[in-house]
Structures are given as C-alpha cells and as structure tokens.
Amino acid sequence: MARSVLTVRDLDATPAGGRIAVPPGTIVTPLAREEAERRGITIEFKEVGRGTEAEVQPSRVVALGADHGGYDLKEQLKEHLRAWGYTPLDLGTSSREPVDYPDYAETVASAVVRGDAWRGVVIDSAGIGSSIAANKVPGVRAALCYDRATARNSREHNDANLLSLGARLISAEAAREILAVWLETPFAGGRHQRRIDKIRVIEERHRKA
C-alpha cells in the first residue's frame, strides 16, 4: 500500500507557528517542507485519529506516457512519484526504440478521462506534439510547461489535468520541480471556472459538428 503524502495544500488550515500531525512514514513533498519552514510550522509524525483536521489525503494514481525521446525522463519521474507517495501508472514506452508520440499521448489522455488516473503526464523530446495530440481527446486540458511558473498557472487558471514535458528542452531537475508544483497546485476556481466552462462549450460544439 502506498504511503500517505503531505502536500502544500494540507498546510492551508495550519496557522503560522502551528503544528500538524501526520501518520508515521508519511512522505513530505519538497514544497510542503519549504512552506512549513517558511511559516514556522512543525510537522509531527504520530498516529492521527479518525476525523481530525490533520488527516492526509490518500495517494493518487498518475498516468505516465512517453515516446523514445522522453523514455529516460519518464523513468526518473516515475521514481519521484513513488517517493512522493503517488502511484505511477506507466503506459509506455518501455525502451529507447523509436515510437510515435501520438499513440502514447492518446493512451494517457484516455486513462485520465476514463478515471483510471487522477492526472496524466506525457513526455517527448519537445513536449509540443504530445500536448497537441492529448488535447484532441475530449475532456483533456493538456498544458506544456517549462518552469515552475507555467506549471502553477496551468493548474490555478486552466485546471490542467495533463502535463506535457519536453525532455530535451529542460533538465531532469527542472522537470522534477515542474511536476511537484503541478501536482500540488489546486485550481483557483472563481472567474477561471467560467473560462473553463467556455472551453468545454467549445469542445462540445465541435464534437457535434
């Protein structure tokens, strides 16, 4: 069974200088640890009773797919996901042998839409092709991100449910940080929800055309 994970969002209800209790073995994400230190929050590892505010949300399934250009980065990110308490769903490819990115982008996008995965990540050399292919699947909002700011924006403003990365345009460390921010950033809602609703209307209009 995957271990619990403490993210930045889990700290929202804890005041500066306060304490938050988490079960033994909980994975504390890098961003959560940084935020706790910044706000002077103490993280205590102890048994947490049922129904307390400090309960940690269960780990979620994240689908991963890559062509040959993104294979190595996919394997690295898969290990990071496990370390953070998520459950990676590896949908290929399984080697550096040349393959076509649309196949894997569609597979990951479909897994997200079906509910087999909470979110998805697709990787090719530049990330552009995979994001285009994934966005052809109704219900997917794939975002090509290349730094922490674009990762955060894609979640806060666009409620992106699929992340696209270009393995040959960013470092493995940058990709790790982008993924961490993207997974931990909640959708802001409000005026952004109205715009997401309009995106869905456009999608429906052209699906019926």
How do the domains of the chain map onto residue ranges?
5-45, 61-184
pTM: 0.74
Q: Which two tokens stand for residue 48?
A: 């947490």
Q: In the prediction, which pLDDT does 1 show?
A: 40
Q: In the prediction, which pLDDT does 27 show?
A: 76
Instruction: Respond yes or no: is residue 157 known to be catalytic.
Output: yes
Residue 58 confidence class, pLDDT cut points 50, 70, 90: very low
pLDDT digits (tens, 9 = 90+) for 85-101: 899 999 999 999 999 99
132 half-sphere exposure, CB direction, 13 A CA radius: 7
Closest CA to 114 of 131, 132, 144, 91: 91
- Pair 76, 82: CB distance under 8 Å: no
pLDDT digits (tens, 9 = 90+) for 105-126: 999 999 999 888 999 999 999 9
- Helices 172-184 and 71-83, packing angle to 10 deg: 50
Which CATH code is given to the segment(s) 61-184? 3.40.1400.10
Q: Which of 80, 157, 192, 206 is catalytic?
A: 157
